[in-house]
Each structure stands twice: as C-alpha cells, then as structure tokens.
Copies of this chain bind each other. A is one copy, B any other.
C-alpha cells in the first residue's frame, strides 16, 4: 500500500493552482456564498487508517450525497419492493429532467436523480410525520459516521423549500401517476431537509465506510446492511451516481461515487476505503470539477479502480 497521506498531499498540492475553477451552484444564497477555493479530502480505509488534507474538517452542504443514505434506509424498510417505485437505470438526462418521468408514467429512472430521491423520501416517510422521518435520517447518518455533531443546516433547507419549484413539479407529477403515498409537502419536506445535511469530508468518509467494507463499519463494528446490499448500492452509485456524467466518472475514476451540488463527492473503493472530497466549483454535468479530478488522481496512484490495476 502506498503512503496515503503522501498521495493526498500531492493531490492537494497539484490542484492548489486550480482552486476556484468550475461554477459554484448559485440557485440558493447559502450555496452561492461558499468560498470557491475551498478544498478538502479525507480517506478512511477498511483497516481504520484515516488521512485528510485541506478543509477536510469544514462542514459543507452534502446535498445529493445524502441520497445514498436515504436509499439505504428505504431498502432497510421496504427491501426489494423499493424498486416498484424507482428504477435502477442511468437516466440519460439532466438531474432534474421531467421528460423521462412522463415516458415511464411517474416512475423515476433511478434513486439518485431528483425525482428518484423524492420517491425514496416518500418510502422513508412510511406513514410517519416529516419531522419523525427527518429525525430518523439524521440519527442514521450520525450512527454511520459515529458522530452526533452532524446536523441539518436549517437555512439551506428553508431556502430549498422556498425556491424548489422544479422539485415541486416533479413531486406533483409523480403524485398525478399515483406514485407517491404521502402529501407532496411532506415528501418534499423530508427531501429538502436531508439534502441540507452539513458534513465534513472526514464525517462523510466515515459514514460511507460500510459500503467499502461489505456492509459493516469496521470502526464501530456496526453491521449496516448485508454484503449483497452493500455491493448493490455500490453498483447503483457507479452507474447512476453522477447524473449524466456517470459514464465519464466511471471511465476516469473507476469507483462507485455520489456527487452533490455543494461540491462534495463520496467515493467507495470496495475492500479498500471510503473517500470524501469537496471542492465547490462544478463541471457542466453538475459534479465537482476538481473533486472528480482529485479522485482520478487518487485511483491512478493507488490502483483502487474497480476495473483493474
């Protein structure tokens, strides 16, 4: 095994001149005002080694990365019947597209595009109040990361709620096909709140470790999901985790990963490590520009790609 700290230091150094590249999400002020030159990276290996660099201990809005956690919760509650409500194929469209939703009668293509994550929020609700469901999600993420300091940023949640017309459109559209069980306002309440989770790279890397370690967190000893389910969530992250840039991410990085519009990416190297990176500037597909590059450099150096040495 290479010296991981040396590797992340080198990545950080090489990217430093490029900090600020990409376009910071600006649809809500809370995201727009983030310093575009922030950069953090953290790795937690299945052996318990932890390395970090840059702003790895600064919380940022994880946004869509949270969809990995809500999917895990929904699968825990509903098992494979989850797939009656959401597919598991790459979408071939922008993250917030409503077109395919019409062709498939309100069933989203996968749980990581907005429509699919809204369907998952509906499944997480499962008869509870939004407050209860949101509480459950927060507790689950704290449990995964073994860190009770993790919390939702209420200003972000409120801003999303106030301006999320596209998501209201998606949810009402699904509702019109009978594909949501709860009121649109409740479902979106859950959705907007879990997307507003604020976490550091280190917290994020720890919370994704169970996916790298066959379903159990080696740091805490907690079994989260079965081996099979861990593999399957990884497969979904690889084929669908980067919207319409998923193929490119697989091609260049070669790891299951999930990006968020806040500039974070959670990547999983099965049997090896969980990695989180954060850099606010996005590429044209809405994924962190330098974050993707950092991960590409990481797998080139470590040979962690799932596709071969």
Residues of A bordering B, CB below 8 Å: 87-93, 97-102, 109-110, 165-166, 168-173, 175-176, 184, 211-212, 214, 227-228, 230-232, 234-236, 238-240, 244-248, 250-251, 254, 256, 270-271, 300, 305-309
Contact = CB atoms under 8 A, between A and B. Distances in A.
B246 A250 contact: no
Residue from A176, A184, A211, A271 with most neighbouring chain B CB atoms (10 Å)? A176
A247 to B, nearest CB: 4
A110 B307 contact: no
A176 B172 contact: no
A109 B88 contact: no
A169 B177 CA distance: 11
B307 A235 contact: yes
Contacts of A89: 90, 92, 244-248
Contact of A170 (B169, B212, B256, B271): B169
B168 A227 contact: no
B92 A230 contact: no
B172 A238 contact: no
Nearest to A166: B176
Contacts of A93: 92
Given A92-B109, A169-B173, A247 B87 contact: yes
Nearest to A269: B308
Contact of A239 (B99, B168, B247, B271): B247
Contacts of A91: 92
B169 A165 contact: no
Nearest to A93: B92
* Pairs of residues from A and B, 7 with the lowest C-beta to C-beta distance, nearest first: A92-B92, A90-B90, A270-B308, A165-B176, A169-B173, A169-B172, A89-B247
A280 B19 CA distance: 52
A254 B239 contact: no
B239 A270 contact: no
A98 B247 contact: no
Given A176-B169, A238-B250, A90 B88 contact: no
Contacts of A87: 247
A244 to B, nearest CB: 6
A97 B92 CA distance: 12
Contact of A247 (B240, B248, B270): B240
A271 B168 contact: no
15 contacts: A88-B247, A89-B245, A90-B247, A92-B92, A97-B102, A166-B173, A168-B168, A168-B184, A169-B175, A227-B309, A230-B308, A235-B247, A238-B239, A239-B246, A306-B307
